[in-house]
Structure 1
Amino acid sequence: MKLGVLGLLGVLGLVAGCASQKTHAQLRQEAVRDSVDKNYRSTEGFQTVRWGMTREEVRAALPEATATPDGVFRMKTTVADMPAEVSLGFLDNQLAAVDVFFLDVKDARTFQALMRDLLTRKYGGDPKTAHQLARQLKRGDAPVRFAADLAALQKDWVAVDSPERELASRGEFNVLNRWTTLESHVNLMQWTLPSKGLMAIQYEAAKYAPTRAALIGPTTIKARKDLVKDL
């Protein structure tokens, strides 16, 4: 009887030891993964910045970008010979998304054709076909997520006037084209506004897309509620 009890205790101790060893192994794996994540730098991104860059690295690469109270870097620049406003969003101090807004497009059809050609050249392949895109949109696999939505994850988030706030409260949008690579998800979009033509390119790091999907949902609900107060 005593031997049986001692044997049982020995088995339990062995199991506990294995469980403890497994936990340590998991911790080591998590530490390695965290280190890899912090040092992640993509080959893709926007202009001279790449996914995974820190705020300091982005500021050095784009000195004209300004940090705003909502935690987003913004700048006015020229993209494809067109004036544009750019928003750069960060997740855990790493560049995760970029939005480029073209606020006064005179000829939407010509502009779309130009952007389609340029983005196809950049990403080395044609965008999703109309059928593929329609199917993705129906399934929710082609999400529209602003870079500024990442700011809602910060406790000290302060709403500021921005293209995103205007778009959230006015007009209807369409996703015209979509490109996906191992590193990036890109939407070419158009808004229907009564006073002007507006188009945008949304760049999102593929690596951070699952995290954004999990985090932005509930926080965006709060952000949208705050926006309603302006209407």
Structure 2
Amino acid sequence: MRLIVLGCILMACLTPGCVTTREELIEKKRHGAMEDWRSQGAAYRSSEGFQDARWGMRVEEVRELFPDGKMLNENAMRWKSTIADLPAVVTFAFLKGRFVAVDVFFPDAGNVRDAHLLIRRLLNRKFGTPVRDRDTADESQRRVGSYRSAADTVYVLGKLTESLTGVHQDQYAQQRIDVRAENDEAEARRQARAASKRFLLLSRWATVESDVKLRSVKTPGIDAVVIEYESARYAAELAAARQRTRELELQRMTKEL
């Protein structure tokens, strides 16, 4: 009887509804850790952050670690260095005097795609496999392939229908289908060519204490590679800060009208 029950439980957990993604597991662990983080209050110091700086450190503590850093205002410090053999501009972010986020911008990364792959490989060594990857140029190329496949499928389907039924297919109808498919394919190829000049690469890692995003963008006149680190402990505060910033920007623009 126990074996039957165990088998039923196992089968239930093999269903799609029982599958848990890595992101969901991390989110569950964060939820469990949040009470402990908050109970630590001002004493909270993460085991993660950026280099020797840890989430939750006071501004003074971070400045001691990076004495060459320059305070831009009470919420931000700028530090220039060389990271992964590339010149980098690092911006440390603080909320209520606590270290909560950091951006690492590479202004002279050379080939954007090569730089992204190099930095992604290094971040993999530190954080493991990304929970998400996106390449808009690759998506456009795959779209071309999908339209080609659709056109071929429609053509073969027409041939099979004709041979099985013995009824000669309406050639004009087939041509209309082919034209539509080829127009879609031509549009997809145009988008793929444009994507080779304009693309976004995005890789995202998540741990219990941090969110890390590697964004690389190429557009005419702009080549940008940036790593964004954010503290999971201060996620709600960061979201509120973003909302507040948007509101202040809208107020500023409204005054200009």
- Which ranges of 4 or more aligned residues in structure 1 deviate by more than 4 Å? 32-35, 224-230
1:115 shift after superposition: 0.9
What's 1:219 paired with?
245
What's 2:208 paired with?
182
SS in 1 for 2:126: helix
Q: Which AA in structure 2 matches 1:219? A: T
Query: CA distance change for structure 1 residues 37 and 116 in 2, over 3 Å: closer, same or farther?
Result: same
1:229 shift after superposition: 9.7
- For the aligned residues, what is the CA RMSD? 2.9
1:36 shift after superposition: 1.4
Q: TM-score, normalised by structure 2?
A: 0.55
What's 1:194 paired with?
220
- After superposition, the C-alpha distances for 1:147-202 in whole angstroms (9 at most, x for unaligned) are xxxxxxxxxxxxxxxxxxxxxxxxx9845100000010000012334224111000
SS in 1 for 2:60: helix
Q: Which AA in structure 2 matches 1:78? A: T
What's 1:95 paired with?
99
What's 2:46 paired with?
42
Greater alpha carbon shift after TM alignment, 71-80 vs 33-42: 33-42
- Say which structure is richer in helix: 2
1:121 shift after superposition: 0.9
- After superposition, the C-alpha distances for 1:24-77 in whole angstroms (9 at most, x for unaligned) are xxxxxxxx9866121111111111111111001001111111111363100111
Matched, 1:205 2:231: yes
Greater alpha carbon shift after TM alignment, 172-181 vs 96-105: 172-181
Q: TM-score, normalised by structure 1?
A: 0.61
SS in 2 for 1:207: coil
Structure possessing the higher radius of gyration over alpha carbons: 2
1:105 shift after superposition: 2.0
SS in 1 for 2:234: helix
- Say if 2:46 and 2:54, in contact at 8 Å, map to a contact too: yes
Which sections of structure 1, spanning at least 5 residues, go unmatched?
A: 1-31, 135-171
- Say if 2:37 and 2:44, in contact at 8 Å, map to a contact too: no
- Equivalent residues in 2 for 1:1-231, closer than 5 Å: 36-69=40-73, 71-123=75-127, 125-130=128-133, 174=200, 176-223=202-249, 226=252
